[in-house]
Structure 1
C-alpha cells in the first residue's frame, strides 16, 4: 500500500489542534493512503458502486437494515471531556486487538489507516470529518459508520 504525507491533506489541522490533542507518537501511526490505495480499500471494504457515503442506496451494505446492529449518539461524548468512544461502539468491536489495522474511510479518495488503539485515542480528531465515514477493520466483520446528525451505526460487513 502506498501512502501520502498527512501534510498534503487539506484538513490536516484536525491533527494539529490542542483539543482534541493527537500525540506525536499517534500521529506517526496515522497513514493517509494515496488515491490508488484509497480507491482499492474503498472498493474492497465499502463499495464498488458508490464513491461517497452520500450516494449509498438501499442496495449498499451499510444501508441494509439486517446488517445494522444499533444506532447510538456519539456527538454528546465528542463534546464532553470524556475521552473514550461510546461504550456501545467499544462493545461492538470488542474482538479488535489494539494493533488490528483499521481504515477510516471517508470516500473513495480519502482513507486513513492506523492501528485500532490509535483510532480509539484519536477518534475525536477524525470526527471533524463526520459526513458518513465508515470505520472497518482489516479482516473484521464489524464496522462503524459515523453520521453528521451525531449518531453512529454499528454494522456488520457483508
Structure 2
C-alpha cells in the first residue's frame, strides 16, 4: 500500500479546517503517501542524504542556487482574500490540470495530488510552510516554498527517477 487514508493522515486538518475547507471532489484526490513510500519518492526526486529542506547539502539538487529564480512573495497572497496562486507560479508552470504533483513536506511526508487540485487549494497545503517542494511528475520545474513567506522556481537537473 502506497497511500495513507486521508482520515488517518496526521495533517488531515489542513484540508478540513473550517476556515478553508476543501471540496469533497478535491479531497478525494489528495493522497498522502505512507512514510516508506514518501521516503522512496524523496530519495528519488529530492535528496538521498538530507531529510528536509533545512538540511540540503552539496550533492542535493535543491542546494544548487544556480537553478533557482529570484525570490517571490507567497505570504501576502496566502493572507489575502484571493484564492489564486501567486502570478509568478501560474506564469512559469503551464502544466495541465491533470498533471500529477508531489507536495514534499519532508522525507517522510509527501502528498500526491493533481495540479488543478493543488492550484485550487494551495493555501491549505501551505498551512505547513517549513520549506516544502512542489514537483510535477515528469516535469523539470519545481517550486520551493520558504518559511520566510517567499518561494523560488527552479529547474531540476536531468536524471531519470526509477519507478516512474
TM-score by structure 2 length? 0.91
* Structure 2 runs not aligned, ≥5 long: 158-164
- Richer in strand (by share): 1
Structure possessing the higher relative contact order (Cα contacts under 8 Å, 6 or more residues apart) = 1
CA offsets per residue over residues 4-51 of structure 1, 9 Å max, x none? Answer: 112222221111113223111100000011122111111111111111
CA offsets per residue over residues 49-93 of structure 1, 9 Å max, x none? Answer: 111111112442212121002210000000001111111011121
Q: Number of aligned residue pairs: give it.
A: 157
Q: Is the 8 A contact 1:104 1:136 kept in 2?
A: yes
Q: Is the 8 A contact 1:38 1:111 kept in 2?
A: yes
1:28-107 alignment, distance < 5 Å: 28-94=28-94, 96-107=95-106
Aligned residue for 2:144? 145
In the alignment, the residues of structure 1 paired with residue 155 and residue 74 of structure 2 have an alpha-carbon distance, to the nearest angstrom, of 19
In the alignment, the residues of structure 2 paired with residue 19 and residue 9 of structure 1 have an alpha-carbon distance, to the nearest angstrom, of 19
* Structure 1 runs not aligned, ≥5 long: none
Range with bigger deviation, 140-149 or 61-70: 61-70
Question: Structure 1 segments of 4 or more deviating over 6 A?
Answer: none
Q: Is the 8 A contact 1:69 1:156 kept in 2?
A: no
